[in-house]
C-alpha cells in the first residue's frame, strides 16, 4: 500500500482549502498528499457567506458582495452599512472546481474513497470528519435555503436581510435570511437555532413558501437551487493524537454563536501551511478563549430564553457596523467587545454565567 507525507480526511471546505493553500505555497513539490473523500462527485451544495475581514484565495468564486445589511424583528428594522468589510457569498461549485483543477495538475496529490486504501501510520493526518455522530439533543443551526428566480425585477440587490425574525418562532429561535444576487434572483433561507429532536420544525418547504408569498409578496418564481444543512453549535470531540490535526468544523472552526466557519477555515489553513514543517509540535490553532467563553454564555441564554433572542440579536446590531462585524468575525478588540456586551440584558446574562 502506498504511503503519503500528508493525508487529508474529508475533501470538503476545510480539506480542499488546506490542500489548495499547500499547493500554492509550493509545499507539495516534494511531498505527497492523499485526500480521502467519500462523495462521488463535486457540485454546488452550499453557499458560503461571511464578512471579508481579510483577503482570501477565492475572489473568483464570489457570487456577490454587499455593503448594506438589515436586521428585522416584528416591530423594527435596522440598517447598517460597511464598505470596509463587505459581506460576500461564495459558490461552492466554483470553489470545488477551482481547487480540484489545480490539484489534478500535481501528480503528488491523489484522491481515495477510504483511508484503508493507503498506509497512514507514519503520515501527518488532517481530519475534517467528526469523530462520532454528534448529539441531536445539543444546539444546532439548521436550515434550508432556496435560490429563486422571478420573471420581474423585484429585489433590491444592494442590501441583504441578515436576520428577519418577523416569523413564527414556535418556542425556538427562528429567522429568515435573504441574499439578493441580482434584481430577480435571491437565496432565501429559513434558519432555526434549536436541537434536532423536534421534527416538526423541519417543514422547511412550507416555511419558505409562506414567507416568500406573505412576507416578500412574491407569487411567481422558480427554484434554481436548494441547500440544506445543520451546523453543530457545540464543540467537537477532538481526536487526541499527535499525528492528527483536526480541521474545519471538526477542528473547532465554527463560531458557535453564529455558525460562521468559512473564513476561520481559511485562517487555519494559512496557519497550518506556515507551520507545516513542525505542525505536530505547533500550538493548536483556535478561535480564541474570549470568543469561546462569550459564545458559551450567549448560547446558554439562547437555550433558556429563546423568546428573548430576536430582541437580543437586534440590539447587538445597534452598534457601529465595524464593531459588530469584527465581533462576529472574531477580530474585535476589548473596547468593541465591551460595546457589544453593554447591549446585552445584564441580569439574564449574569444568571447564565453563574448557572
Ligand X SMILES: Cc1cc2nc3c(=O)[nH]c(=O)nc-3n(C[C@H](O)[C@H](O)[C@H](O)COP(=O)(O)OP(=O)(O)OC[C@H]3O[C@@H](n4cnc5c(N)ncnc54)[C@H](O)[C@@H]3O)c2cc1C
Residues of the shown chain interacting with ligand X in the complex, contacts defined by CB under 6 A: 9-15, 36-39, 46-50, 128-129, 227, 229, 231, 248-250, 259-262, 265
* Nearer CB in complex with ligand X: 39/136: 39
Nearer Cβ to ligand X (15/310): 15
Please report how close the Cβ of residue 35 comes to ligand X at its closest, in angstroms.
Answer: 9
Nearest approach in angstroms of CB 342 to ligand X is 26
> In the bound complex, which residue of the shown chain has the CB atom lying closest to ligand X?
12
* Shortest Å, Cβ 167 to ligand X: 19
Closest approach, Cβ 152 to ligand X, in A, equals 27
Closest to ligand X by CB, 76 or 288 = 288
154-159 CB contacts, 8 Å cutoff, 24+ apart: 154/183, 154/184, 154/218, 155/180, 155/182, 155/183, 155/184, 155/185, 155/186, 156/180, 157/64, 157/181, 157/182, 157/183, 158/66, 158/67, 158/68, 159/66, 159/68, 159/69, 159/70, 159/79
The rounded distance, in Å, linking the Cα atoms of 261 and 247 is: 11
Sheet of strand 173-182: strand arrangement: 77-81, 68-72, 159-164, 173-182, 185-194, 140-149, 222-232
Closer of 52 and 351 to ligand X (Cβ) = 52
Indicate the residue among 47 and 207 with the shorter CB distance to ligand X.
47
Whichever of 57 and 339 has its CB closer to ligand X, that residue is 57
Cβ pair 51, 328 in contact under 8 A: yes
State how far the Cα of 127 lies from the Cα of 311, in Å rounded to an integer. Answer: 38
At 297, list the grid cell: 454564555
Q: At closest approach, how far in Å is the CB of 198 from ligand X?
A: 19
CB nearer to ligand X: give 86 or 229: 229
Beta-strand ranges (E) seen in the chain are 6-9, 33-36, 47-51, 62-66, 68-72, 77-81, 87-91, 109-112, 124-127, 140-149, 159-164, 173-182, 185-194, 222-232, 244-246
**CA nearest to 56, candidates 9, 28, 89:** 89
Cβ distance to ligand X smaller for residue 53 or 297: 53
CA distance 305 to 350: 13
Q: Is 106 exposed, middle or buried (0-12, 13-18, 19+ CB in 10 A)?
A: middle
* Min CB(41)–ligand X separation in Å: 11
**Shortest Cβ distance from residue 141 to ligand X (Å)?**
8
Q: Tell me the closest approach of the beta carbon of residue 113 to ligand X, in angstroms.
A: 8
Nearer to ligand X, 14 or 316 (CB): 14
| Chain length of the chain | 355
Q: Report, in Å, the least distance between residue 9 CB and ligand X.
A: 5
CB distance 321 to 80 below 8 Å: yes
Amino acid at each position: 500500500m502506498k504511503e503519503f507525507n500528508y493525508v487529508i480526511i474529508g475533501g470538503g471546505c476545510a480539506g480542499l482549502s488546506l490542500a489548495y493553500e499547500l499547493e500554492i505555497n509550493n509545499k507539495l513539490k516534494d511531498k505527497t498528499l492523499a485526500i480521502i473523500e467519500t462523495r462521488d462527485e463535486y457540485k454546488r451544495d452550499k453557499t458560503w457567506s461571511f464578512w471579508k475581514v481579510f483577503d482570501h484565495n477565492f475572489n473568483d468564486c464570489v457570487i456577490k458582495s454587499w455593503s448594506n445589511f438589515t436586521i428585522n424583528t416584528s416591530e423594527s428594522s435596522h440598517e447598517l452599512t460597511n464598505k470596509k468589510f463587505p459581506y460576500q457569498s461564495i459558490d461552492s461549485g466554483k470553489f470545488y472546481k477551482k481547487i480540484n483543477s489545480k490539484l489534478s495538475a500535481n501528480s503528488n496529490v491523489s484522491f481515495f474513497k477510504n483511508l484503508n486504501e493507503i498506509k497512514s501510520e507514519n503520515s501527518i493526518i488532517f481530519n475534517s470528519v467528526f469523530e462520532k455522530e454528534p448529539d441531536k439533543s445539543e444546539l444546532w443551526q439548521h436550515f434550508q435555503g432556496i435560490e429563486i428566480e422571478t420573471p420581474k425585477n423585484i429585489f433590491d440587490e444592494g442590501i441583504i436581510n441578515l436576520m428577519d425574525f418577523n416569523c413564527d418562532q414556535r418556542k425556538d429561535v427562528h429567522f429568515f435570511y435573504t441574499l439578493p444576487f441580482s434584481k430577480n434572483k435571491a437565496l432565501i433561507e429559513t434558519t432555526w437555532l434549536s436541537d434536532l429532536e423536534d421534527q416538526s420544525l423541519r417543514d422547511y418547504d412550507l416555511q419558505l413558501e409562506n414567507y416568500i408569498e406573505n412576507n416578500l409578496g412574491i407569487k411567481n418564481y422558480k427554484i434554481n437551487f436548494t441547500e440544506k444543512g445543520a451546523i453543530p453549535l457545540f464543540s467537537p470531540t477532538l481526536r487526541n493524537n499527535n499525528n492528527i490535526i483536526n480541521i474545519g468544523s471538526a477542528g473547532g472552526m465554527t463560531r458557535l454563536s453564529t455558525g460562521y466557519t468559512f473564513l476561520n477555515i481559511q485562517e487555519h489553513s494559512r496557519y497550518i501551511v506556515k507551520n507545516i514543517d513542525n505542525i505536530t509540535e505547533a500550538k493548536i490553532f483556535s478561535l480564541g478563549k474570549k470568543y469561546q467563553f462569550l459564545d458559551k454564555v450567549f448560547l446558554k441564554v439562547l437555550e433558556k430564553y429563546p423568546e428573548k433572542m430576536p430582541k437580543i440579536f437586534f440590539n447587538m446590531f445597534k452598534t457601529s457596523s465595524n464593531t459588530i462585524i469584527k465581533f462576529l468575525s472574531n477580530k474585535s478588540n476589548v473596547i468593541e467587545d465591551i460595546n457589544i456586551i453593554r447591549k446585552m440584558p445584564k441580569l439574564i446574562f449574569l444568571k447564565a454565567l453563574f448557572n
